[in-house]
Each structure stands twice: as C-alpha cells, then as structure tokens.
C-alpha cells in the first residue's frame, strides 16, 4: 500500500466534501465503489490490458477518503498495489483540479454590526457560535469580545487602506500635511516631558523614565491594568528590570505566577518522511517565567505615579499636532466623552498594531507580516493527567496546514492549576486576507480538545488573550521608520520582534536599558528631531536575517502547499537545535546568535534537507529573497564591524564621555547607539546568563 496523494481541502464542512466525492465527482476511469468516507476505484475490464496485470496478491484499487481535524478537511489517495493504477496520473490530476475548483480558499470577514440595537453576543452568534458561547462564560466577556471585534476592525482598516492611512499626526513643517482649520492651539509651556499613548508596554518604559525625573503622562484606552495577553520571559532577560531599579528582587518574585522546569518544542510529523522527523526540543530557560501581567502593570503604574507621573485611562487618542517646541495631543475621555488637549516635549507611541501612528509613519509597509493570536487563561478544568504544570509548551503543532495556515500552540502554566493557552499562525499581510481574530477564536474553541484532551464545558475561564503580533522584514537598521520630530514608537508599534517566540514585550524588556539610556540622552540635550530619534530602536541585525525563517511558516494567500510542508521545515530546523548543546538552542531562540552559528546551522539544514532551498524559493519568491540577501549582507557587515569595535570601543566611550557629551551631544548619542548595536544580541555562555548586561556600564557613565 502506498500513499500517492495528500491534499488539504480548506473547509470545515467535511460532509460536503464527502458527499461531493461520493455523488458528484467522476474519476473518468475505473469502477467507482462508494465507501463511508469516500470511494474505492477498481480496475474495469475496459481499462485493463496485459501490461497492466498486477502481480501482487493485492487488490488493484485506489482508495480515496477524507477526514477532519483542526476544522479542516484532508484528503488522501492510497494505491493498494505497488504498480501504478491504469491512467493513475491522469486520475490524480483530475481529482486535484476538481477538488481545488469545488473547494477553494475562502476568507470570511466579520459582519458589520450595530451595538446600539443588539449586544455583541447576539450580533456575532450566527457567525461565531462557539466564540460567543465561551466568551459568555468569562468575566467581562462582553467587554472583551467587543475589544476583539474592535481590534480586528482596526487592523483590517489599516491593511485595506495602506496607501492612504488615516492621518492622526500633523506637522507645522508641512511634512505631514501641515496645519489645517482643525489644528490645535499651541500650549504656552508643555505640561509634560513625555506623553505615552498605550498603557501596556508603555507603562513599563514610562515608569523607568519617571524614575529618572521626567514629568510623564500615560494615556490608555482601556481601564488601566487590563490586559488581553499574559507575558512569559526568562530570568536572565527580566534582569534588565532589576538593573534599572524599576523593581526589586522581592517585587519580582511577587509578579512571577509560575517558574516551570522545562519547555517543549515539537511539531507534527506524522506525514513527514523519517529523515524530516525530529525529537522534542527541550528549552528549560526559554519563556519559563509566567508573569502575572496585570500585577506587573499595576506595580509599574504605582512606580510611575510615585515619581510624579499621571495616568489617564479610558481615554482615547484622537490626533497630535507637532511644532518646533512641542507636540500637542487631543484625547477623549470615553465614559464622559469630554475632549482634552495637552502638550509635551515628546510623544511615545505604544499603541501596538492598532496604532494609527505606526500606519501613518510607514504607509504601505507598516507591517510585512503578522501573527493573529488568540487564546485564554483557564483557571481549572483539565484532568490532572492531561498536563503537568511544571512544564510549558513553547511551540507545538498537532496537525498540518489548516485552511491556508499552519496553526501553532503555546501553553504556559500559571498559578495553581491555571494554564494560559495560545493559538496563532504566521501570516503575510494581504488586503484580501488580513488575518482574523474571530475566525481564529472559532478554531480555538473547536480544536482545543484535539490539542489537549478536555471537556470544554468543564473548563473555568479566567479571561481571553488575543492580539495581532506584527513583523517587519528589515534589510537594515534604518529600513523602518520608528520616529518623527518629537515622536517615537516602541514595542509592537515599532514592530521589531523576534520571528520565533517573542512579542513586543520580549523585545522591549531585552532592550529596555538601551532604549531608556538613549532616550534619556536625547531628552537631556533636546535632540528630538527625526534624525536623532530614529536612532533609538531595538533593532538587531541577527534578528533581521531570520525573517526568512518566519516567511517559511507563512502560506501565501490563495496558494495551496503540500499540507505537511511547513511542519517539515520546522522539524528540519528544530531537529538540528535538538542535536546541539542546550545553550546553542537557548541563544538562538533568544536572538543571541552570532554570524558563525547562523551559517553553521544554515549549512547543516541545507545538507539535511536539500529541498529546503527550493521550498524557501517557492514561498519567498525572487523579490523577498533579494531583500533577504540584503539583510544577510548587512548582518555580515555588522558582524565584521562588531568584531573590530568590541574589544576597545566601550572603554573608549568611558574615557571620552564626560568630555564629548557636553561639547557634541548629537555625536555622543550616535556613538552610544553604535555601542548598543554591537553589544546587543551577542551569544552568552552558561556562566554569563545571570550576569548584568554589559550595556549597564554605558548607562552608568552617561547620566
């Protein structure tokens, strides 16, 4: 018996596919015999010739059948004998063509709703019944479902109108349309040094800057402290919060909900050849701290306010007007609908993927990719034997490509029996198919029992977790605009996350010392123009070169791939990491790999799976491969410069800093940015993991 065809049929309606196969599809050759899940194709007298004689003691038949997993239908054809069936190639081509014609890709979008006439539950129930059912079981479920719907609508608006993003920032210089009749009146003296829009990642950065003595205003659209995500990180990475004296060691322990023993990385390989199957990759020090994100936000909020900062929550950003001396923003307090106007020296965009500022800054290249991510924090309800809370699932797939997406799971233990589970996929931003949170939620509530055995109605739901995690394929450090005069973006709005497991939170925390030191220097010397602020970013050349890895996990819109293709690529690479010393995998996943390690692993992957290069070509195409070669050239150049500068450059800055900074602050800022660029992302040995980041040295003498 031999498998000769494997197709993904992108529909959840397996009954329709089954009925079509049994009643409507005509194979043109052979005798069709119906079976419960498809049909058998037997040789008829009319098609049999002497040369077609079957020597094995096996029926000369093809077996065509379907099954369903992940809300997706799959089809396989097996040949019972070793020799080809008469007209086999023609039959398979006809079956494939007719299946694709009858069951093509479909990208539904949420309905337009009027919440003044019905609840969000009533409006969405006909389209997403399980999503509505389980959101109704969650505390604040109605509010959170409105939030998910709003976020998807905002994301779609940005994707579908990339050439003409909604203008929310206006400049008196005329660079962004200049002033207009609705421009805001200048404020005599800015009330604040920094105004942050976005209270999740924003409050962490704001609290550090407030402790440095700056007058801070934080504006948050939601009630402050509410989060639609949980955060995981490792001890060596969260050390930056301690280095900056934002939190104490005792406070850190209070925000750690769980520290687990090991994390697993495993991708489905049931349809991969044996050489492309891999063992479980163990990563015990990757994302092994489960944080209480809301407690962390509240703690940072308290630190911010204790340092004289202010928080305006349930307040929506409307627009910003920038002139030579300040930025004036207009906001609206949502409960009272009262509009306010306030001024500051610098505006910090921390609104994430929903940020209209980020779309305006980068127009049609705001984001190249995105991970639509959904999930939930679950208090209890899993049987004890289903999961041991001493362990996490860092990356896991339990099936092949599903309706044009490779779905990936994450599972992180929390306090007591609590588990936070995510479902996401890597996605190329596309106008026709922007990526849907609500479709993903319907998948999540349907297929969670396939991933981890459970009775859905016995689970106790704590809160949903969702969002769009963006990606930008950077060729060089200045490829993406993260700033304008008196404006800078951080976190997901800056879209500088790792292509593997880290979101804007991971990028921000790992680069917090870098971002705060550089911004402090800019503020002290009033270096608040685009040219200066655009140097303050969490860019890493080693991260930019790995965007091809995430590209390999994306199924292009409208295209069919062999269903097992993405899992085969993932198993190829993670299998190599499993064979390496643990520290190599730890450094790679935490974006601390050097040029030699990257090239060594890339060559090993090509040797293990030569087809990998062809697969990447098919997915990326010549344009993106050309861009990647630019990234690789930049990575190589950066590695050479870093090797030349690292032995002496930090010591040089230590000696000249006190003399150079007051005389030429612009040059000093540039040199500091270069120093951080060569120090960030270097591999760490096991003995270095717990040590303070060497960049802290620069921070100490720069104040």
Q: Which of 316-320, 550-554, 607-611, 663-667 has the lowest mean pLDDT?
A: 550-554
Mean predicted confidence (pLDDT) in 278-293: 94
Taking 50 as the threshold, does the pLDDT of residue 694 lie above it?
A: no
Alpha helices in 73-138 (DSSP H): 88-102, 120-124, 129-135
Q: How far is CA 186 from CA 44, 259, 323, 338, in A?
A: 87, 50, 8, 19
Q: Quote the DSSP letter at residue 670.
A: H
Q: What is the mean pLDDT of residues 364-381?
A: 87
At residue 620, the pLDDT reads 82
Residues 6+ apart with CB under 8 A from 29: 41, 47, 86, 87, 90, 91
The order of strands in the sheet holding 38-42 is: 2-9, 72-79, 61-69, 38-42, 31-35
Residues 6+ away with beta carbon under 8 Å from 629: none
pLDDT of 388 reads 94
pLDDT at residue number 510? 84
Position 463 confidence tier, pLDDT thresholds 50, 70, 90: very high
> What's the confidence (pLDDT) of residue 572?
93
Distance CA(548)–CA(585), nearest Å, equals 18
Of the candidate ranges 146-150, 493-497, 522-526, the one whose mean pLDDT is the lowest: 493-497
Mean pLDDT for 36-47 is 82
pLDDT confidence of 45, banded at 50, 70, 90? low
Q: What secondary structure, in 3-state letters, does 269-283 show?
A: CCCCCHHHCCCCEEC
Rounded Cα–Cα distance for residues 318 and 356 (Å): 10
Phi, psi of 347 (to 5 degrees): -105, 130
Given this model, what pLDDT does residue 248 score?
A: 95
pLDDT given at position 686? 44
Least confident segment among 214-223, 380-389, 484-493, 693-702: 693-702
Torsion (CA) 511, 515, 518, 521 in degrees, nearest 10: -140
Helix, strand or coil, per DSSP, at residue 605: helix
- Does the structure show a pLDDT above 70 at 366? no
pLDDT confidence of 216, banded at 50, 70, 90? very high
Task: Answer whether 615's CB lies under 8 Å from 621's CB.
Answer: no
Structure tokens at 442: 């319907």
Average pLDDT of the segment spanning 588-605: 91
**Percentage of the chain modeled with pLDDT above 70:** 90
Cα–Cα distance measured from residue 587 to residue 596, given in angstroms and rounded to the nearest whole number: 13
CA distances (Å), 13 to each of 167, 510, 524, 534, in order?
42, 45, 62, 50
In CATH terms, is domain 2-102 a member of 3.30.310?
A: yes
pLDDT, tens digit, 9 for 90 and up, residues 639-684: 999 999 999 999 999 999 999 999 999 999 999 999 999 988 777 6
Q: Is the predicted pLDDT of residue 573 greater than 50, yes or no? A: yes
pLDDT for the residue 501:
52
Residues 6+ apart with CB under 8 A from 533: 346, 482, 483, 484, 485, 486, 487, 488, 522, 527
68 burial type by CB count under 10 A (0-12 exposed, 13-18 middle, 19+ buried): middle
pLDDT of 423 over the 60 cut: yes
Q: What does DSSP assign to residue 22?
A: I
Q: Looking at the predicted structure, is the pLDDT value of residue 689 above 60? A: no
Look at residue 191 and tell me whether its pLDDT is greater than 60. yes
Q: Is the pLDDT of residue 51 over 90?
A: no
- Which residues contact residue 40 at a Cβ distance below 8 angstroms, ignoring those fewer than 6 apart? 32, 33, 61, 62, 63, 64
pLDDT, tens digit, 9 for 90 and up, residues 512-540: 999 999 999 999 999 999 999 999 987 77
Does pLDDT of 500 surpass 70?
no
363 secondary structure, DSSP code: G
Comparing 156-170, 275-289, 422-436, 468-482, which segment has the lowest mean pLDDT?
468-482
Mean residue pLDDT of the chain comes to 89
Q: Does the pLDDT value for residue 50 go beyond 60?
A: no
Q: What is the CA 183 to chain-centroid distance, rounded?
A: 36
Q: What is the pLDDT of residue 617?
A: 85
pTM for this structure? 0.89
168-182, 335-349, 605-619: least confidently modelled range:
168-182
Which residue intervals of 363-436 are DSSP H helices? Answer: none
Determine which of 83-92, 205-214, 364-373, 515-524 has the lowest per-residue pLDDT on average: 364-373
Task: Tell me phi and psi for residue 337, to 5 degrees.
Answer: 60, 25
At 553 the pLDDT is 87
- Per-residue pLDDT at 14 exceeds 90: yes
Give Dmax (Cα) for the chain.
97
């Amino acid at each position: 018996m031999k498998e000769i065809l494997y197709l993904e049929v992108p529909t959840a309606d397996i009954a329709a596919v089954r009925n079509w196969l049994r009643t409507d599809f005509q194979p043109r050759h052979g005798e069709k015999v119906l079976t419960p899940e498809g049909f058998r194709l037997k040789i008829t007298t009319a098609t049999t010739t002497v040369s077609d004689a079957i020597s094995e003691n096996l029926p000369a038949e093809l077996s065509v059948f379907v099954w369903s997993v992940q809300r997706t239908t799959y089809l396989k054809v097996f040949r019972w004998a070793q020799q080809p069936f008469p007209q086999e190639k023609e039959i398979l081509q006809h079956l494939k063509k007719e299946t694709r014609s009858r069951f093509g890709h479909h990208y539904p979008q949420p309905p337009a709703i009027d919440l003044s006439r019905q609840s969000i539950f009533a409006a969405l129930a006909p389209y997403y019944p399980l999503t509505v059912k389980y959101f109704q079981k969650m505390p604040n479920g109605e509010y959170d479902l409105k939030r998910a719907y709003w976020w998807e609508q905002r994301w779609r608006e940005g994707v579908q109108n990339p050439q003409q993003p909604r203008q929310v920032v206006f400049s008196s210089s005329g660079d962004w349309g200049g002033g207009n009749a609705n421009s805001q009146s200048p404020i005599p003296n800015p009330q604040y040094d920094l105004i942050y829009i976005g209270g999740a990642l924003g409050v962490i950065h704001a609290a550090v800057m407030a402790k440095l003595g700056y007058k801070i205003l934080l504006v948050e659209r939601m009630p402050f402290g509410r989060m639609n995500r949980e955060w995981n990180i490792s001890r060596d990475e969260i050390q930056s919060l301690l280095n900056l004296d934002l939190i104490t060691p005792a406070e850190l322990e209070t925000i750690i909900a769980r520290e687990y023993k090991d994390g697993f990385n495993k991708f489905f390989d049931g349809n991969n050849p044996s050489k492309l199957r891999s063992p479980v990759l163990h990563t015990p020090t990757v994302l092994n701290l489960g944080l209480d994100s809301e407690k962390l936000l509240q703690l940072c909020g308290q630190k911010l306010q204790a340092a004289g900062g202010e928080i305006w929550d349930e307040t929506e950003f409307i627009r910003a007007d920038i002139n030579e001396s300040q930025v004036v923003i207009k906001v609206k307090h949502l409960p009272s609908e009262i509009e306010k106007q306030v001024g500051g020296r610098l505006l910090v965009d921390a609104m994430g993927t929903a940020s209209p500022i980020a779309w305006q800054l980068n127009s049609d290249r705001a984001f190249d990719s995105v991970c639509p991510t959904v999930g939930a924090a679950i208090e209890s309800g899993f049987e004890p034997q289903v999961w041991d809370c001493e362990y996490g699932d860092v990356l896991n797939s339990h099936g092949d490509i599903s309706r044009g997406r490779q779905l990936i799971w994450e599972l992180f233990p929390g306090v007591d029996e609590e588990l936070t589970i995510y479902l996401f996929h890597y996605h190329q931003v596309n106008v026709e198919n922007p990526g849907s949170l609500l479709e993903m939620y319907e998948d999540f509530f349907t297929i969670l029992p396939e991933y981890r055995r459970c009775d859905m109605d016995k689970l106790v739901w704590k809160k949903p977790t969702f969002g769009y995690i963006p990606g930008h394929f950077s060729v060089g450090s200045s490829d993406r605009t993260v700033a304008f005069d008196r404006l800078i973006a951080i976190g997901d709005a800056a879209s500088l996350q790792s292509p593997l497991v880290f979101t804007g939170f991971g990028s921000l925390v790992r680069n917090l010392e870098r971002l705060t030191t550089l911004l402090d220097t800019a503020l002290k010397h009033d270096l608040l123009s685009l040219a200066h602020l655009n140097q303050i970013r969490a860019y890493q050349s080693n991260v930019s070169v790995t965007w091809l890895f995430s590209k390999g996990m994306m199924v292009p819109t409208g295209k069919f791939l062999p269903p097992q293709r993405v899992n085969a690529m993932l198993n190829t690479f993670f299998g190599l990491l499993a064979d390496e010393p643990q520290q190599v995998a730890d450094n790679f996943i935490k974006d601390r790999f050097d040029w030699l390690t990257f090239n060594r692993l890339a060559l090993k992957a090509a040797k293990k799976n030569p087809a990998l290069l062809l697969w990447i070509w098919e997915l990326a195409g010549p344009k993106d491969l050309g861009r990647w070669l630019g990234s690789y050239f930049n990575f190589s150049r950066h590695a050479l410069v870093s090797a030349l500068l690292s032995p002496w450059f930090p010591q040089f800055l230590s000696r000249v800093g006190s003399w150079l900074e007051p005389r030429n602050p612009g040059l000093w800022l540039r040199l500091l940015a270069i120093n951080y660029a060569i120090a960030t992302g270097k591999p760490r040995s096991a003995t270095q993991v717990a040590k303070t980041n060497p960049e802290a040295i620069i921070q100490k003498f720069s104040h």
